[in-house]
Structure 1
Amino acid sequence: MYEGPVQDLIDELGRLPGIGPKSAQRIAFHLLTVDPADLTRLQTALQRVKDEVKFCELCGNVAEGALCRICADPRREAAAICVVEEPKDVAAVERTREFRGKYHVLGGAISPIDGIGPEQLRIAPLLRRVADDVVTEVIIATDPNMEGEATATYLIRLFKSFPGLSVTRLASGLPVGGDLEYADEVTLGRAFSGRTSVG
């Protein structure tokens, strides 16, 4: 539609997750009108992320050094590991302030359609961490979708070979403030199977 660098920018922005063609176009034209200092700050931030950010050698979370801030924190409980799909999931769990253990980032979920099997995920390092006698609990916090469920089921099967290991899965069900009539069958079914006693 456009020519040269403008179309190139729109095309590159459109490759980002969650950015469709119209959003890419809006962002591109916004960038054309911003103050040059703002654009320079954006360029610097992007370059710094590429140059300085790595993945934690232990858990796979984003880090600036060999270990992320959570793995490097001696106050975190080493006995509990929360298994998540992506680094953004670590941030989501941390916002709850409910978990004081450590994490393991798989780097995705099992998805045969996308050609992602267990070998493409960070499952082998997870098993090595669990094999050391420090870990007593693994909390599986994969997404509540087909891929996340397949990954959780696969991990649960693997963890059966670790006697004494407590393996739990995050509860799922109805959101607070939601209406039953709008809940899909899977969500409502999980809410029923995960119901708790109130008296």
Structure 2
Amino acid sequence: MSKLLQDAVAEFAKLPGVGRRTALRLAMHLLKMDEGAVEQMTRSIYDFRHKIRHCELCNNLSDSERCPICSNPERDHSTICVVEQVGDLMSIENTHQYRGVYHVLGGVISPMQGIGPSELKIDMLVEKVASGSVREVILAISTSVEGETTLYYIMNRLKQYPMVRLTTIARGIGFGDELEYVDELTITHALMNRREVVRQE
């Protein structure tokens, strides 16, 4: 195999979910593409990598300081859905059933990986709730051990705000499942049947 082709295949294979066979198909397809289309693809990837930023309000990916969701006056800004990653946000958005805003943590608490509360956007969430403009916080976090740890940590941080309704999505989602990989119908059901958190004193 050509060294140049091998290098291209190796780079494609670094992408999640792309095996060497798929990487080879992608490389061969790239070779057949119009040169202008290849240049446009390269430019788009470069711009995405170097110009994308995080929304100053919710930590979602954005082209500007505030993402389209946080900038939309028709969204219910008093309801915040807390998710681990941007992919989870996109999965919920694809259901077209949720009209509130989001808060992206950037991960979950995982001592084994050296990720503590300070590495996540938890303080930013608490500040929003403390502002007094939030009525409900929906905790849409995975049911993995790390997810549950994060869930209870946030619940403990927010228990001093009794006027804010704390809810979790219905647990029809399997243990350890990430929202990003759950179908839209299941996510819709989980949101519609969310349950209120019993606060511990």
- TM interval, shorter chain, is 0.7 to 0.9
What is the SS of the residue equivalent to 1:144? Answer: coil
**In 1, Cα distance between the equivalents of 2:74 and 2:110?**
35
Residue 134 of structure 2 aligns with which residue?
135
Post-superposition Cα deviations, 1:117-147, rounded to whole Å, max 9, x if no partner, equal 2221111111111111101210011123333
Residue 17 of structure 1 aligns with which residue?
16
**In 1, Cα distance between the equivalents of 2:20 and 2:93?**
33
**In 1, Cα distance between the equivalents of 2:30 and 2:51?**
24
Rate the CA distance shift 1:174–1:129 in 2: closer, same or farther, 3 A: closer
Corresponding letter in the other structure for 2:15: L
**Identity, % of aligned positions:** 39
Q: Which deviates the most, 8-17 or 130-139?
A: 8-17
Q: Structure 1: any 5+ residue segments left out of the alignment?
A: 176-190
Corresponding letter in the other structure for 1:130: V
Residue 125 of structure 1 aligns with which residue?
124
Deviation at 1:16, TM superposition (A): 2.0
**In 1, Cα distance between the equivalents of 2:101 and 2:157?**
20
Q: Structure 2: any 5+ residue segments left out of the alignment?
A: 175-189, 196-201
Post-superposition Cα deviations, 1:53-105, rounded to whole Å, max 9, x if no partner, equal 21101101111111001111122222111001111222211222222111101
Rate the CA distance shift 1:116–1:10 in 2: closer, same or farther, 3 A: farther
What is the SS of the residue equivalent to 2:94? Answer: helix
Residue 181 of structure 1 aligns with which residue?
none
Residue 73 of structure 1 aligns with which residue?
72
Residue 108 of structure 2 aligns with which residue?
109
Q: How many residues align?
A: 177
Rg larger for: 1
What is the SS of the residue equivalent to 1:96? Answer: coil
What is the SS of the residue equivalent to 1:78? Answer: strand
Q: Which has the higher contact order (CA 8 A, sep 6+)?
A: 2
Deviation at 1:114, TM superposition (A): 2.5
**In 2, Cα distance between the equivalents of 1:8 and 1:114?**
31
Residue 178 of structure 1 aligns with which residue?
none
Residue 150 of structure 2 aligns with which residue?
151
Residue 99 of structure 1 aligns with which residue?
98
Residue 61 of structure 1 aligns with which residue?
60
Residue 183 of structure 1 aligns with which residue?
none
Q: Which deviates the most, 113-122 or 19-28?
A: 19-28
What is the SS of the residue equivalent to 1:42? Answer: helix
Residue 32 of structure 1 aligns with which residue?
31
